[in-house]
Amino acid sequence: MKLLEGKTAIITGASRGIGKGIAQVFAQHGANVAFTYSSSVEAANTLEEELNSFGVKAKGYQSNAASFEDAQKLAEDVVTEFGSIDILINNAGITKDNLLMRITEEDFDKVIEVNLKSVFNMTKAVQRTMLKQRKGSIINMSSVVGVKGNAGQTNYAASKAGIIGFSKSVALELGSRNIRSNVIAPGFIETEMTAKLDEDTVKGWRNAIPLKRGGTPEDIANVCVFLASDMSAYVTGQTLNVDGGMLT
């Protein structure tokens, strides 16, 4: 059963990792996918072809989620091209880790801008369309770090915790129009980025997780399908920790 048949989703930062996994699973569930990427044109073109092969409409847009103007233009382009915006997944994010005593103002600002302000930019950009439709599902990607904090990640943790507060407020503002806003807080997800880490470090992390494994992009994507579909019609303002039990 295709749970997202005929729905149009915008997914930011989808040329690799979790975003790419979400785009693939959404296409398999019948969603039309508009996705953004920042620089990897080749990866974006490959993904676009792959998604189209599922018989859905898919298009990649080079767009900077941290730019208010880019977000506005993206939403307009997607409505023109696809006719609706039913789902928004704010997934674009970066890290610039360092201890507080060493972190620069520039590294703090950049992470807040890309991770948190982008969520404001994109939500604001799709709001009018969703209000007109009187329906929509907004899914924002936080992190277990946004829930519990992490040494060496004050900037990242602040941005991801901010996403939770923002999403709850949007849920309260837009609930009467049948627009839902929820958060996913992934734990340790194994992607191209974590593949570069030292194997012993990764083993240590896996052992500390109750389910004894890292998550996959598909693990996150499946929860996104639930929150994007009508199966979660009465769920809003929530944060789902998808972390193998890390925060238990």
**CA-angle at 172, arms to 168 and 176, nearest 5°:** 140
**CA-angle at 192, arms to 160 and 24, nearest 5°:** 80
Q: How far is CA 17 from CA 41, 131, 189, 233, in A?
A: 15, 31, 9, 27
Task: Give the type of residue at 217.
Answer: P
DSSP state of 114: I
Burial class (CB in 10 A: 0-12, 13-18, 19+), 1: exposed
Q: How far is CA 195 from CA 23, 44, 90, 203, in A?
A: 21, 20, 23, 12
Angle of helix 17-28 relative to helix 217-228, nearest 10 degrees, comes to 50
Smallest CA-to-CA distance from 167 within 130, 120, 126, 129 is with 120
Tell me the pairing of strands 58-62 and 179-186. Answer: unpaired
The SS3 call for residue 182 is strand
> Active site residue: 37, 61, 156, 234, which one?
156
- C-alpha to C-alpha distance for 33 and 42, rounded to whole angstroms: 17
Record the tokens describing residue 89, joined without a space.
């997944």
CA 117 to chain centre: 13
Asked about 61 being catalytic, the answer comes back as: no
Active site residues: 156
